[in-house]
Structure 1
Amino acid sequence: MRLIVAEKPSLARAIAAALPTPAVRREGYLEAGDTCVSWCLGHLLEQAPPEAYDPRYQQWRLDDLPIVPSRWQLVPRPQARGQIAVLRKLLKRATSVVHAGDPDREGQLLVQEVLDHLGWRGPLQRLLVQDLNRPAVAKALARLEDNQRYQPLFAAAEARSRADWLYGINLTRAWTLIGRQAGYDGLLSVGRVQTPVLGLVVRRDREIAAFEPYPFYPLWVDLAVAAGELRAWWLPDESQPLDAQGRLLDPRPAQALAARLPGSQGRLATLEQRRKRQAAPLPYSLSALQVDAARRFGLSAKRVLDVCQALYERHQLITYPRSDCRYLPAAHHAEAARTLASACQHDATLTQWVQGADFGRRSKAWDDAKVGAHHALAPSGRPADLARLSRDEANLFRLIARNVLAQFYPPLETFETQALFEILDERFQAKGREIIEPGWKPLFTTRDDVPTLPTLHQGEAARVLGAEVESRETRPPEPFNDASLIKAMMNIARYVDDPAVKRTLRETDGLGTEATRAGIIETLLTRGYLVREAKALRASRTGHALIDSLPPAASQPERTALWEQRLTSIAEGNAAAQPFVDALLADLRQLLGQASAGKLDQALKAARQGAAPDAPKATRGKRQTAKRGGGQSRRRTASKGKPRTRRAKGSSS
């Protein structure tokens, strides 16, 4: 008997439906002839809690840290025991097994760790399913691979799991214990991803709080030229009082010039014009979709992930959503006309876009070299009746379909002009743009914020019709929201000062993964370290105090982003896992050595006196599950222990 083990029931059903023999449902699996298809429920196993290694760890003591298992143990999650029993029985009957976890690092781990735990040593193949429609699954079943090829991916996922446990358990225990000494009765959770994300928000909040606005004074002129009128802006030279952005800080020079300008004659000194072609935005990765959906529809990152999972699993309308890739396999290009026509047939707008597409066109999105375990989000080809979907489901499906359809439209072609006028020995600049070929642009917007300019000729005369000095004020940075925080996590190199580290981080995926970023934000909200103020995300008083009490290295993005880079190197077979864990332990001991109750006490007092918001009452003092961080927060003395830690698939500390 061949046993196929899927990551979740929805994938198991899709696999069974693609088999040549109709499947019969059994308890915990589907049977189709000589093939049985069963499933995991996310992670069936979790890292054993500290007390499983030594009963003394039931009590939290600083003297026991760091806790480092000599031989790692996994234990069944309580709600997973029944399914583990089903898999154990099926493995006893099996002659071969197919690993059908999701095509990513975590998917490789959660099925393989169960097979290893249950002692399977027979033939093991790997099935990679990108979308759940029957033809796609049938093709995947026809090209099974040897699971041995994916051992580096498993090694990286296992190292990540163990490292998260080491980091989260030890630092959370340390800071919670010194928190008690400082008079804080609650869990202080520290994680290798969540804490740097919190640090980003704390530092942004402080930039805003410390910001002191100042006025600046732009001067514009309205000019008459041969072909019409336009507006140009004064470019003061360095002899004037300017800030770093070239803004005038003293109104008097502008006012004196404005008084002399009306009726003055000048000339077009420099004219730069070029025709520009802009390709359509690429199809979405999950994070890119989360950013756009937050801006357009105000959806949280978690809501976008949940809706995409529904579109993928329940409705089977899109391909695998937890993807960090924005490219599509070359083989999908030939099927795109049929797939998109089928997927979009029930929506008038999408149908119109399909009819306007040139499916013979091939954009840079079709690139096998840039497709890894995942490809970009795309319609599966199953007809989407948007009237039967929720509003959020329909909106996100339209975005996903639109970005793929845009690949079959011409580039946006514009004629860009930059004109530099000389008037009264001063320079004035005007910029304009004319759309020549809208291409893909109407699928996204019909608005163009850049003005057009009349036809201009080098050296032509210009007469000043009027001039005015405006009084403006600098503005503080915007607080983070879901869109900007996800984008910051994606592009973390922007928040790093060290040039060498910045160059390195540009090659990584940033903080967290496509699957975990939404969960990280929600975890920080649940634990009361972040609060929502309308659409803004702000750090709470506790969040500020936690960041202030930690060594800077624990709240900066460099450590965890470089961590992800090392894990990628392991996943690609270019590095071993043990040196990564050894380096982590060295860092961990150094961080634990800097735990200070006095410093935390000062940070808590400063936070209470600051302007940061307090966490909502529903969150403060709440009994919270701290993933990989040590269980629930409850009133206890320093000698009391804590319940076991639980970990969900894809979560990050």
Structure 2
Amino acid sequence: MRLFLCEKPSQGRDIARVLGAARRASGHYIGPNIVVTWCIGHLVAAAAPEAYGEHYKRWSIEHLPIIPDRWRLDIKASTAHQFRVVRDLLASASDLVIATDADREGEMIAREILELCEYRGPIQRLWLSALNDASIRKALAELRSGNETLPLYHAALARSRADWLVGMNLSRLFTVLGRRAGYDGMLSVGRVQTPTLNLVVQRDRDIANFVAVPYWSIDVTLSSSEQSFPAQWTAPQGTTDDEGRCIHRHVAQLAADQLRAARTVQVTSVATERIREPPPLPFDLSTLQETCSRRLGLDVQETLDIAQSLYETHKATTYPRSDSGHLPSSMLAEAPTVLAALVAMDPSIQPLIAMLDRTQLSRAWDDRKVTAHHGIVPTLEPASLSAMSDKERAVYQLIRAHYLTQFLPPHEYERTTAQFSCADATLKAAGKRIVSNGWRVALNALSNGDGDERVSNNDRGEVLPPLAKGTHCSIGSIELKALKTQPSKPYTQGELVKAMKGVARLVTDPQLKQKLKDTTGIGTEATRAAIIQALIARRYLIKQGRAISASQAAFVLIDTIPRAIADPGTTAIWEQALDLIAAGQMPLSEFVSKQSAWVTTLVHEHSRSRLVMQALDKHTCPTCDAPMRERSGKHGAFWSCSNYPRCTSTRPIERADQRNTRPVCSKASRRPGRAG
């Protein structure tokens, strides 16, 4: 009997239908010499510390570190019945097809059960990118060897064990130290969640510590050929900040006076260039989450849930947890079928479909840049728009629009830059003339947005009149503006996902930055939303409309733990190591051994440290013992008693003495006591 092991009941139902396994039994479907069963997410989980000894029930530093010699799994009580169904079916299976989600976590969901049930039969892998019937049939005809995807299981196991080692040991260590110092909350430390939290804490601190700096600008209205257009004054060198803003009022005032005294300015240069912008790539999950947060106001978990529903329930789009926006070139042959399905779903888009060049090879079709998954695109078969909720339909339309842009020409425009002089003052004007809307037609028509995902504000100028070097333009209005620099804005959930994915750009340590690839990030496409939601659930992050901010507990945690734990670059290095394991280039045992050694070093270094006491002291009011909160005043940020105005105690902000114990996860590194 061939057994198919799926991840969810809905997947099992879809695959069973295609296989002809029509008879439903308890927890599985039965067909001719075929049985289809399923997990319900993870049926088993890593055992808690107390499973390795009763003494671990009590949180005590003396019992740390906890490093299992042999890792144990517990059967989840809530799904124990389905585990027994799977276990009994495995006992009678002649061969097995793993049909869980096509990623490392899906691999782990199946393989952990096989290990626990000691299954030793042959294994094949069903690698699905969509759950519509045509995609299932295609994947069934192209089953992979189980050995091909086994390294994904090792990578997932490495991730799970590293999370366990960091979470169980360091959460206990710093919570106990916090209690000794008088803090009664839990200091929950996570391999991924803590660096993510640190991103928000540092952004909030940057905002609180921000001191506005005044600067001046001059907006001028010019006219030529009876057409008016705006121009901006260019401050001379030596009078500006790094952003080119004039920081000397008298310089701006002198320039404004010179312009008011003149009647015209002379054109000193005119340059026009043709810009050809390719269409945006199909979505990967992070880009979809960032876009939906910005344009639709959706939480990142909500976007993931919707994308999962479009994939799993509606069969309208492909696998959502993708880290690639590119498409395999072989899928180009499927384009006519996909487009026909889109028209069948929504006949109103027929005029747009008629504009497409179905043979166009955009930059999205690139086999070299396709990872285990390709970009999120519509499936081969029609789905029902009417069955979707409003939010599902809005997300689907974005996905559909980005797919259709691949068959439209580039967006083309002419960008003209002109410079003018008047006495000692220099002006600059920018204009833009659209030559061809190209792919933006699809975004305008289908996503109810401005259709412009890629053009910066500097390129949004109006059309300039004909200008020639040496000619003159009349001066109209002149406005001298007194402005102030603005702080960074708080993260939204979508922006935080983007920061997690591109964390290499935020790393300041030059040695670490050199080790990181630009594509290395914190977490994975499948986990980033869950990480943010966990931080919100634990009240480390607070939602404020679309923005999120760090709570007082978050500041306490980040100031309490060593810098290496909260450093996003550290976790990004770990993710590189997981990629090496998934590629079969690093053994699981090496990674876990390094993680164990690093955690052991941290426990020994900080079990008697006064770091927690020092950090908590600054968060407690010296007058009434209430929590101190970070506030901003005219001289910058400071700590203020949360009982204000009843208690007016304050203290300056001082950074905790955080030791820079950084793990090195490069495969080339072999220094003892460092994590892998």
Scaled by the length of structure 1, what TM-score is found?
0.90
Q: Which residue of structure 1 lines up, in the alignment, with residue 89 of structure 2?
A: 90
Partners of 1:545 and 1:603 within 8 A in 2: no
2:522/2:572 contact within 8 Å kept? yes
Secondary structure in 1 matching 2:525: coil
- How far does residue 580 in structure 1 lie from its aligned partner after superposition? 1.8
Q: Secondary structure at the match of 2:620?
A: helix
Distance apart, 1:447 and its partner CA: 7.2
Match of 2:251 among 250, 253, 278: 253
Choose 592-601 or 562-571, whichever is displaced more: 592-601
**Paired amino acid for 1:513:** T
- After superposition, the Cα gap between the structure-2 partners of 1:300 and 1:351, relative to the gap in structure 1 and judged at 3 Å, is farther
What is the match of residue 3 of structure 2? 3
- Equivalent in 515, 520, 524 of residue 504 of structure 1: 515
CA contact (8 A) 1:232 1:429 kept: yes
Higher relative contact order (CA 8 A, sep 6+): 1
Root-mean-square deviation (CA, aligned residues, Å) is 2.0
Task: From the superposition, tell whether residues 527 and 315 of structure 1 become closer, same or farther in structure 2 (CA, over 3 Å).
Answer: same
* Native 8 Å contact 2:255 2:425 kept in 1: no
Match of 2:121 in 1: 122
How many Å separate the matches in 1 of 2:281 and 2:302?
22
Per-residue deviation, residues 299-342 of structure 1 (Å, max 9, x unmatched): 10011111111111121111111111101122221112221331
Q: Is the 8 A contact 1:341 1:351 kept in 2?
A: no
User: Match for residue 620 of structure 2?
Assistant: 605
With over 3 angstroms needed to count, the CA separation of the structure-2 counterparts of 1:361 and 1:66, relative to structure 1, is same
Aligned residues: 612
Q: For residues 328-366 of structure 1, what are the alpha-carbon distances to aligned partners after superposition, in whole Å with 9 as ceiling and x for unaligned?
A: 122221112221331353436544432332212121111
CA-CA distance at 1:184 after TM superposition: 2.5
The 5-angstrom pairing of residues 22-61 of structure 1 reads 22-61=21-60
| Separation (CA, whole Å) in 2 of partners of 1:334 and 1:580 | 42
CA 1:507–1:256 in 2, change beyond 3 Å: closer, same or farther?
closer
* Contact 2:21-2:29 within 8 A present in 1 as well: no
Q: Does 1:439 align with 2:458?
A: no
Q: Report the Cα offset of residue 113 of structure 1.
A: 1.3
Which residue of structure 2 lines up, in the alignment, with residue 590 of structure 1? 601
Residue matched to 1:624: none
CA distance in 2, matches of 1:581, 1:108: 19
Whether 1:528 aligns to 2:544 is: no
Aligned twin of 1:306? 305
**Aligned counterparts, 1:554-573, within 5 A:** 554-573=565-584
3-state SS of 1:605 partner: coil
Instruction: Give the equivalent residue in structure 1 for 2:182.
Output: 183
Distance of 1:239 and 1:172 partners within structure 2? 51
Shift of 1:125: 0.8
Q: Runs of 5+ in structure 2 lacking a partner?
A: 445-449, 453-459, 632-638, 641-676
* 1:484 partner SS: helix
Deviation string for 1:50-102 (max 9, x for gaps)?
11112211111101111000111112111222112112221222111111121
> What's 1:645 paired with?
none
**1:398-413, aligned counterparts within 5 Å?**
398-413=397-412
**Greater shift in the superposed pair: 458-467 or 486-495:** 458-467
The amino acid across from 2:245 in the alignment is R
**Contact kept? 1:264, 1:423, Cα under 8 Å:** no
Aligned residue for 2:112, secondary structure, equals: helix
In 2, the alpha carbon distance for the partners of 1:256 and 1:603 equals 48
Aligned to 1:292: 291
Could you tell which deviates more after superposition, 96-105 or 588-597?
588-597
| Counterpart check, 1:211 vs 2:223 | no
Q: Is the contact made by 1:285 and 1:377 (CA closer than 8 Å) also made in structure 2?
A: yes
For the structure 1 residues 371 and 185, does the alpha-carbon distance in structure 2 shift closer, same or farther, using more than 3 Å as the test?
same
Counterpart contact for 1:98–1:124, Cα < 8 Å? yes
2:2 partner amino acid: R
Residue identity opposite 1:246 in structure 2:
G
Q: What corresponds to 2:469 in structure 1?
A: 458
The answer (yes or no) to whether the contact 1:44–1:110 under 8 Å persists in 2 is yes
1:102 is aligned to 101
Deviation of residue 603 (structure 1)?
A: 4.7
Number of the residue aligned with 1:425: 424
Aligned residue number for residue 639 of structure 1: none
1:479 touches 1:537 (CA, 8 Å); kept in 2? yes
**Alignment partner of 1:237: what SS?**
coil
Contact kept? 1:350, 1:398, Cα under 8 Å? no
CA distance in 2, matches of 1:266, 1:298: 45
1:223 maps to which residue? 222
Cα distance in structure 1, aligned partners of 2:105 and 2:543? 30
Say if 2:343 and 2:350, in contact at 8 Å, map to a contact too.
Answer: yes
- Shift, 1:391, TM fit: 1.0
- Report the Cα distance in structure 2 between the residues aligned to 1:344 and 1:322, rounded to whole angstroms: 26
Of 540, 562, 570, the residue aligned with 1:551 is 562
Q: Quick one: which amino acid aligns to residue 164 of structure 2?
A: W
Output the CA distance in 2 between the equivalents of 1:244 and 1:97. 62
**Greater mean deviation of Cα atoms: 121-130 or 146-155:** 146-155
Contact (CA 8 Å) 1:45, 1:74: kept in 2 or not?
yes
What is the distance in 1 between the residues matched to 2:396 and 2:627? 45
Distance 2:618 2:156 in 1: 35
Contact 1:29-1:39 within 8 A present in 2 as well:
yes
1:438–1:557 Cα change, 3 Å: same
Q: Does the residue aligned with 2:415 lie in a helix, a strand or coil?
A: strand
Q: Secondary structure at the residue paired with 2:119?
A: coil
**How far apart in 2 are the matches of 1:239 and 1:90?**
77
- Counterpart residue number, 2:484: 473
Contact 2:178 2:613 in 1 (8 A): no
Letter of the 1:487 counterpart: K
User: Which residue does the alignment assign to 2:647?
Assistant: none
Q: Secondary structure at the match of 1:389?
A: coil
Q: Distance in 2 between matches of 1:397 and 1:315?
A: 10
CA distance in 1, matches of 2:491, 2:594: 33
- Counterpart amino acid of residue 4 in structure 1: F
Tell me which residue corresponds to 2:671.
none
After alignment, is 311-320 or 505-514 more displaced? 505-514
Matched residues in 2 for 1:370 and 1:454: separation?
43
SS of structure 1 residue aligned to 2:470 = coil
Alignment of 1:613-632 (within 5 A): none
Q: Aligned to 1:10, what secondary structure does the other structure show?
A: helix
SS at match of 1:471: strand
Alpha carbons 2:314, 2:384 under 8 Å: kept: no
2:393 corresponds to which residue?
A: 394
Matched residue type, 1:9: P
Kindly provide the amino acid, as one letter, of the partner of residue 472 in structure 2. A
Please report how far the alpha carbon of residue 197 of structure 1 lies from its aligned counterpart in structure 2 after TM superposition.
0.9
State how far apart, in whole Å, the 1-side matches of 2:82 and 2:160 are. 22
Shift of 1:239: 3.9
SS at match of 1:385: coil
2:159 corresponds to 1:160: yes
CA contact (8 A) 2:264 2:472 kept: yes
Kept in 2, the 8 Å contact 1:290–1:301? The answer is: yes
C-alpha separation between the residues in 2 aligned to 1:389 and 1:309?
13
Work out whether residues 227 and 455 of structure 1, in 8 Å CA contact, stay in contact via their aligned partners in 2.
no
1:6 aligned partner, one-letter code: C
1:255–1:523 CA distance, 2 compared to 1 (3 A): same
Write the deviation string for residues 231-284 of structure 1: whole angstroms up to 9, x where unpaired: 2212122243x2221211232222222222243444322222111100111100
Structure 1 pair 401–232 and aligned structure 2 pair: CA distance change class (3 A): same
**8 Å Cα contact 1:273-1:417 kept in structure 2:** yes
Percentage of identical aligned residues: 40
Deviation at 1:451, TM superposition (A): 1.9
